[in-house]
Amino acid sequence: MVVVWVAYGHARASGRQQRGVCRTCPRRSENLSLSSLSWRLSRSLPPNSLFSHNAVSPIMSTTTTKTSPSRLVISHENLHFDYPEADVILRSRDSYEFRVLKIYIIHNSSILGEKALISPNPQTKPTSSTIPADSDVDSGPATNALPVVQLPIEGAILFSLLTYIFPVPPVLPSTVEQVMELLSVAQSYKMDVTLTHIRNHIAQQEPPFTREGTAFLIYSFSHKHGLRTEALQAARCTLNFATLNIQHLAEEEKLDIIPGAFLLELWKYHKRVRLNLKSDLRVFIKSNVLTIFGDSSCESLTSSGIPSWLGSYIFNIGNSYAPGFLDPTDFHMELVEHSQKSILNGGCASCSGISREKIREIWGALTAAVHNSISKVSVTYVAAYLKVLNTSLD
């Protein structure tokens, strides 16, 4: 792995003097209320925060993989977060410590902010930043007089969460499970802005975070953590490739990934999608298709009055093994096969002469109708099962 050290700094244009927290605000005031600190935010935030343009950012370390140099990966060997002018320490479940500014925490989460405000008075004791308390450090421990907030979060997850709160490059965890836990933590602490920030970053990933290889895993973890947005995205993704046939799922080793209750709900979701597609596509044929084609003179028409090749393709959308799978190649093959058979029998002048513009128009209208139909169907949660599962994990 290649270790990348990221450091940010800012100097005044006139005097090259570093700026930290506003000098008019107390550096450590344990008696400030949440509302008071929130009121001061607009005046005391370090510049270049998420809400300003200039700031001193913390020094932190991350690593990159050999296969994807642009993708930052969390490593326990390099967890480091030591913000200038820090006034509180956040300690993870596995004893990693992160020195941060309370004001950022308070602004992003009232729940976590309350924990920071009511943290115990500082006690001088030897600790080492972002190093487990029981590990050996050659350089010796440093004296720490900052209040400590103990959190039930793994160090890798907490480190990643802080990169979305403070003005530093955001770092996603390295596994699907950890990413889902990160989203869960942000949701649990009601960090709405931070949660949006994380989801936007996930949406920019290449290859896509939710894809055929990860959809079942994401769907399972989404239910476990109560992440409705991710559960729906994963469920919709499975429409493009999943048969949900028990034998196929067993062969693909998917049955060990999803608990039975979650798999049953996913099957019900597929069923609702199929029924909705069947209904909406009937309306689509009567309105859009007939409008685009007009009175077709195709030698082989369906009872609805549209060319049989097009009717066959539309019929298979809601009845094929993957109800949401749309492939323009299959669409064109239906037309080509129809035209070839027609030519052997004397030719179908109507279909063989369809213009490219009309083909594009019908394909665009069809894909829009399918996507709109799927978007109407939501995922239902197995609330009772979730409650039992979460209780057993606590």
Residue 337 has a pLDDT of 84
Both 114 and 23 in one domain: the answer is yes
Residue 210 lies in a domain: yes
Both 16 and 150 in one domain: the answer is yes
The residue to which tokens 């493009």 are assigned:
240
The residue to which tokens 């809601």 are assigned:
318
pLDDT tens-digit readout, 66-101:
333 333 334 445 688 888 888 999 999 999 999 999
pLDDT tens-digit readout, 332-353:
888 888 877 755 566 677 788 8
Residue 85 lies in a domain: yes
- 109/190 Cα distance (integer angstroms): 6
Both 60 and 191 in one domain: the answer is no
Of 124, 156, 172, the one marking the end of a domain is 172
Residue 14 has a pLDDT of 37
Both 243 and 352 in one domain: the answer is no
Range of the domain at 351: 271-375
The gap from C-alpha 76 to its chain's centroid, in whole angstroms, comes to: 23
Question: Based on the structure, what is the number of domains in the chain?
Answer: 3
Both 157 and 182 in one domain: the answer is no
CB 60 within 8 A of CB 53: no
Q: What is the mean pLDDT of each run of 10 residues along the chain (394 residues)?
A: 37 38 39 42 42 38 36 53 88 92 93 82 48 48 74 94 92 94 96 96 95 93 94 93 80 84 91 93 90 80 87 86 85 85 65 87 94 90 47 42
Both 189 and 44 in one domain: the answer is no
Residue 391 lies in a domain: no
Of 172, 199, 233, the one marking the end of a domain is 172
Residue 80 has a pLDDT of 83
Token pair in block for residue 175 = 């596994």
Residue 144 has a pLDDT of 54
Both 14 and 131 in one domain: the answer is yes
Residue 47 lies in a domain: yes
Both 27 and 162 in one domain: the answer is yes
Both 230 and 276 in one domain: the answer is no
CB 276 within 8 A of CB 258: no
Of 172, 201, 223, the one marking the end of a domain is 172
The residue to which tokens 């889902």 are assigned:
180
